[in-house]
Amino acid sequence: MNSIFGDRKTIFILLAPALLLYTLLKIVPVAWSFGLSFFEGNTLRGFEWVGFQNFATFFTDGAALQSMWVSIFFAIVATVGQVALGYGLALLYVFVLRKGSSFVRTIVFFPAILPTVAVALLFKSFVAVGQNQGPVNDIINFFGGDSVEVLASTVGTMTTAIVMTLWGSMGFYAVLLYAGLLDIPEEVIESARLDGANGLKLVRHIIVPLSLPILLSSIIFSLNSTLKVFDSLLALNGGGPGTSTAPLTLYMYRTAFEYAEYGYGSTIALVLTMLCLVFTLAIFRSSRRKAEV
Amino acid sequence: MNTRSNRRRIAALGIALAAVVPLAACAGGNAGSGSTEAGGAGGTDPDKFTVMTANENPVLSDELDALAAGACKAENKALPIEHQKVAQADVVQKVTLLASQGALATHTIAGTALIRPDGDLGKAGLVGDLKAALEDAGTWDNVLPAAASTVEQVYGGMFSMPYQYNIEGIFYNKQIFADNGLEEPQTWDDLVADAAKLQKAGVTPMTEAGANGWPLTRILGMYIYRNVGPDAMVAIQKGDAKLTDPEYLAGAQALADFAEAGYFGEGFSTRDGDTSSNMFLTGEAAMTYDGTWLLSAINDPDRNQIGGENVGFMPFPSVDGGKGSIDQYPANAGAPMIVNAEQFGPKVQDWISCIAENYGQQALQDAGVISGFKVNGDVTDISENTAEIQQRIEGIDETVLWFEALFDPKSNSLASTNVTLLTTGQMSPEDYMKDLQASLDANK
């Protein structure tokens, strides 16, 4: 076996098909899109070299900058929420519910398998007002308040979007972090308890440091998926009211496919990729610094 | 050492190739440098008469099939019809891609901005001149002059088959009007006063599908047309006037005030098209500004619970001291349906001529659709509402476009998305018009 894996030719032959497929499906489109960001036009009109003009346009384009802040805001708030709730649930599974947690785990995980568009439509009907009023306004009316048009405001739409995202994903992060917590040796926890560490002290000084790698992975995973949020915000309120909750992905889609500006659309995609990279590196760096300390 | 430097060289070459190949490929895609000439019937016939229509409009493909089996049997035998479908929201993307690959359907739906002479399809010489082709075939007189005029105004030439001919106005519930002692309002101030009375009586005065944006901008636009005159939006297009001018700003202010008073009812900003129509057709709302495409719902007894006899139609009222007239109806000819100039051969010309001769009667008889074609032959059993609208259309001397008709795609989208902010008090009329004007200026 060693002789097989020691042979470079064999390694190449074994890797080549997967590498080729990966290159064709991932690397080429990414490089293609990167190339397009230096051009203006579309497949019908033709492409014209504009150098860095698309990038200059991006940083003076009010709609693009607004969309970028929407993406960043959504990513940070949703990540903090879903990882914190997920971690809390994971602690609940391990230390409170213990072996009886499987039923609760399944129930809380269930929304993660639902299509995001269906979840968005569900929440849209929850907060609906008027002819098909939803339960949220029914409750408000029951306590004597006037119906609130939640999706007519930016704050209302964003709050609904974040609650919806947390409901849909906290079960997933709970399971991910639960798996990490299970890896902490029972003896370590026991000895910490014997040393007098209980409750919050135990979590802060023993559980969190030992589950830090999986916690960081969850944060990176969450940031990258929430920065690329698209379907849920589109289905909830079309990025509205106005364009106040339109993330960068939606602006990219509209630019490339509705306005047929493929070059500028690719530039927006590149900025989004850079954002994901910057956030991921920032988390990595902060974790390394912590490890060094 | 040598092996290592060779490896480095190969890696560097690989990276350089990865960067350059896409760039070179992009530069090579210069497909749109064709002439601006839109030749009528100057192309080569394809093997099939491929027709691409929107999923959302099954009536058109059904009626064309009916013609293929009936009045246009001979044309269909010579060039069999074949359908392709596209979601309305994907039209620009799909048409752009197909056209760049030389795979555009013979007769296809397209985006408004694409088919204008300065649009991507227009510049690529892919938009057939229907007037020239129909005149050549001797069937041009089957296109109603009003419909031809509307098509030419919107697209800059006779580039689209007018499969629909819609006018817009206010549908109202006659019973509710009678119960509240109201008559058709003649001015905007009358309309606002009537809305206040209806609201007091517990009826939603006017329902609109705010989620779609455009039903609200239509009201704003119509106020401007009535206030400034029928050339209001042409003046904006030419740069002779600005949306921030007081007479234009008044339209945004009027709409914002109407919404603020609650006359659109609770939850209008997230109300979709079907819900809005249902509110009117179930008697929950007294009025709705809409196009005559609403007739299909009005004629459907399952949807129309107030009865056809209770549905009235009136033009958008005039504005006191305005230069526009109440008789100028906004009109449109449905989604643009062009003929691919490259495939506009004699057989395609025959098909198009046959459609022009027979579609008017076929669509009206079969689906109650009023088109921009002459109705040749008898039509029986059409509803009173449809007949009334048809009669009204015949009496129209002058039409106007809609608010965004001459806008570029970005400004068009901005007008619809920001109108929610305007009507919910989150954006002032000044800011709404200022942003829109800035977008128009930036995308000239």
Q: Is residue A157 part of a domain?
A: yes
Q: Is residue A5 part of a domain?
A: no
Residue A251 in this model has a pLDDT that exceeds 90: yes
Q: What is the pLDDT of residue A231?
A: 92
Residue of B nearest to A28 (CA): B18
The number of C-beta contacts closer than 8 angstroms across A and B is 133
By Cβ distance, the residue of B31, B33, B269 closest to A241 is: B269
| Mean pLDDT along residues A201-222 | 91
B172 pairs with which residues across the strands? B287, B312
Domain range for A152 is 37-292
Q: What is the pLDDT of residue A203?
A: 87
Q: φ and ψ at A179, to 5 degrees? A: -60, -40
Q: Is residue A27 part of a domain?
A: no
Closest CA to B266 of A66, A151, A290, A86: A151
Query: Read out DSSP for A60-93?
Result: T-HHHHHHHHHHHHHHHHHHHHHHHHHHHHHHII
Q: Which DSSP letter does residue B180 get? A: T
Residue of B nearest to A23 (CA): B18
Contact A127, A151 (CB under 8 A): yes
| Mean pLDDT along residues A88-106 | 89
Cβ of B26 within 8 Å of Cβ of A241? The answer is no
What is the residue whose two structure tokens read 């068009």? B412
What is the residue whose two structure tokens read 């399971």? A175
Q: What is the pLDDT of residue A291?
A: 57
Residue A129 and residue B272: Cα distance in Å, rounded?
12
What is the residue whose two structure tokens read 């490929």? B25
Q: Is B380 left (phi over 0), alpha (psi -120 to 50) or beta?
A: beta
**Residue B377 distance to chain A (closest CA, Å):** 41
Give the strand pairing for B204-206 and B49-54.
unpaired
Residues of chain B neighbouring A31 (CB-CB closer than 8 A): 18-19, 21-22
Q: What is the pLDDT of residue B282?
A: 96
B313 pairs with which residues across the strands? B171
Give the strand pairing for B81-86 and B49-54.
parallel
B178-331+406-442 shares the fold of B49-165+333-375: yes
Q: φ and ψ at A40, to 5 degrees? A: -125, 140
Handedness of CA B79, B84, B88, B91 (dihedral sign): negative
Tokens linked to A85: 């709730």
By Cβ distance, the residue of B22, B424, B427 closest to A32 is: B22
Q: What is the pLDDT of residue B28?
A: 34
Tokens linked to B155: 């697209």
CATH no. for B49-165+333-375: 3.40.190.10
Using 70 as the pLDDT threshold, list the residues of chain B that sit under it: 1-41
Question: B103 at the A interface (CB within 8 A)?
Answer: no
Residue B331 and residue B68: Cα distance in Å, rounded?
29
Residues of chain A neighbouring B264 (CB-CB closer than 8 A): none
The enclosing domain of A117 has a CATH number of 1.10.3720.10
Cβ of B22 within 8 Å of Cβ of A39? The answer is no
Contact B162, B375 (CB under 8 A): no
Residue of B nearest to A29 (CA): B22
Residue A101 in this model has a pLDDT that exceeds 90: no
Q: Is residue A19 part of a domain?
A: no
- Higher per-residue pLDDT: B226 or A100: B226
Half-sphere exposure at residue B183, Cβ-oriented, CA atoms within 13 angstroms:
2
Helical spans, DSSP H, in B201-329: 214-228, 232-238, 246-260, 273-281, 295-298
Q: Is residue A7 part of a domain?
A: no
Residue A136 and residue A138: Cα distance in Å, rounded?
5
Residue B34 and residue B126: Cα distance in Å, rounded?
9
**Residue A148 distance to chain B (closest CA, Å):** 9
**Residue B337 distance to chain A (closest CA, Å):** 18
Q: Is the peptide bond preceding residue A241 cis, with omega within 30 degrees of 0?
A: yes
Q: What is the pLDDT of residue A100?
A: 81
Question: B107 at the A interface (CB within 8 A)?
Answer: no
Q: What is the pLDDT of residue A40?
A: 93
Which residues from A are below 8 Å from B when comparing CB atoms?
A: 27-28, 31-36, 38-39, 41-47, 49, 124, 128-133, 147, 149, 151-154, 237-244, 254, 257-260
| Mean pLDDT along residues A84-88 | 96
| Mean pLDDT along residues A5-17 | 87
Closest CA to A47 of A37, A55, A56: A37
Per residue in A140-188, pLDDT tens? Answer: 999 999 999 999 999 999 999 999 999 999 999 999 999 999 989 888 8
Residue B199 and residue B187: Cα distance in Å, rounded?
18
Residue B443 and residue B441: Cα distance in Å, rounded?
6
Cβ of B271 within 8 Å of Cβ of A147? The answer is no
By Cβ distance, the residue of B18, B101, B279 closest to A131 is: B279
Residue A208 and residue A204: Cα distance in Å, rounded?
6
Residues 363-402 of B with CB under 8 A from A: none
Q: Is A6 exposed, middle or buried (0-12, 13-18, 19+ CB in 10 A)?
A: exposed
Cβ of A42 within 8 Å of Cβ of B100? The answer is yes
Residue A81 and residue B392: Cα distance in Å, rounded?
59
Cβ of A35 within 8 Å of Cβ of B25? The answer is yes
Q: What is the pLDDT of residue A286?
A: 82
Q: What is the pLDDT of residue B1?
A: 41
**Residue A264 distance to chain B (closest CA, Å):** 13
Helix or strand (DSSP H, E) at B104: none
By Cβ distance, the residue of A153, A154, A258 closest to B409 is: A258
Contact B350, B137 (CB under 8 A): yes
By Cβ distance, the residue of B19, B267, B420 closest to A31 is: B19
Domain boundaries, chain B: 49-165+333-375, 178-331+406-442
Residue A250 and residue A231: Cα distance in Å, rounded?
9
Closest CA to A251 of A239, A241, A263, A260: A239
Residue B366 and residue B388: Cα distance in Å, rounded?
18
Per residue in A12-26, pLDDT tens? Answer: 899 999 999 999 999
What is the residue whose two structure tokens read 């590196």? A281
**Residue A283 distance to chain B (closest CA, Å):** 28
What is the residue whose two structure tokens read 């109300």? B271
Residues of chain B neighbouring A240 (CB-CB closer than 8 A): 417, 420
**Residue B297 distance to chain A (closest CA, Å):** 19
ipTM of this complex prediction, to 2 decimal places: 0.81
Mean pLDDT of chain A: 91
In chain A, the number of structural domains is 1
Tokens linked to B158: 């006779």
Question: B438 at the A interface (CB within 8 A)?
Answer: no
Residue B145 and residue B353: Cα distance in Å, rounded?
16
Q: Is residue A11 part of a domain?
A: no
Cβ of A43 within 8 Å of Cβ of B121? The answer is no
Handedness of CA B134, B136, B141, B146 (dihedral sign): positive
Residue A112 and residue A172: Cα distance in Å, rounded?
6
What is the residue whose two structure tokens read 């979007």? A161
Q: What angle do CA A35, A36, A37 make, to 5 degrees?
A: 90
CATH class belonging to B178-331+406-442 = alpha beta
By Cβ distance, the residue of B18, B30, B211 closest to A27 is: B18
pTM of the predicted structure, to 2 decimals: 0.84
Cβ of B27 within 8 Å of Cβ of A49? The answer is yes
Cβ of A149 within 8 Å of Cβ of B418? The answer is no
Residue B130 and residue B340: Cα distance in Å, rounded?
10
Give the strand pairing for B166-173 and B329-332.
antiparallel
> Helix/strand/coil (H, E, C) string of B3-36?
HHHHHHHHHHHHHHHHHHHHHHHHHHCCCCCCCC
Question: Coil, strand, or helix at residue B173?
Answer: strand
Cβ of B92 within 8 Å of Cβ of A243? The answer is no
Q: What is the pLDDT of residue B13?
A: 45
Question: B117 at the A interface (CB within 8 A)?
Answer: no
Residue B287 and residue B198: Cα distance in Å, rounded?
10
Residue B126 and residue B123: Cα distance in Å, rounded?
8
Residue B337 and residue B323: Cα distance in Å, rounded?
33
Helix or strand (DSSP H, E) at A41: strand A39-42
Q: φ and ψ at B317, to 5 degrees? A: -65, 165
Q: Which DSSP letter does residue B317 get? A: P
How many angstroms separate the Cα of B381 from the Cα of each of A101, B299, B366, B367?
A: 67, 11, 10, 11
Q: What is the pLDDT of residue A258?
A: 87
Mutate to test the interface with A, among B17, B208, B270, B421 (most CBs of A within 10 A): B270
Q: Is residue A28 part of a domain?
A: no
Q: φ and ψ at A164, to 5 degrees? A: -60, -40
Cβ of B120 within 8 Å of Cβ of A239? The answer is no
Closest CA to B105 of B334, B335, B358, B337: B337
Helix or strand (DSSP H, E) at B85: strand B81-86
Residue A44 and residue B114: Cα distance in Å, rounded?
10
Q: What is the pLDDT of residue A284?
A: 85
Cβ of B418 within 8 Å of Cβ of A152? The answer is no
By Cβ distance, the residue of A130, A241, A259 closest to B266 is: A130
Question: B265 at the A interface (CB within 8 A)?
Answer: yes
Q: What is the pLDDT of residue B178?
A: 97
Cβ of A244 within 8 Å of Cβ of B421? The answer is yes
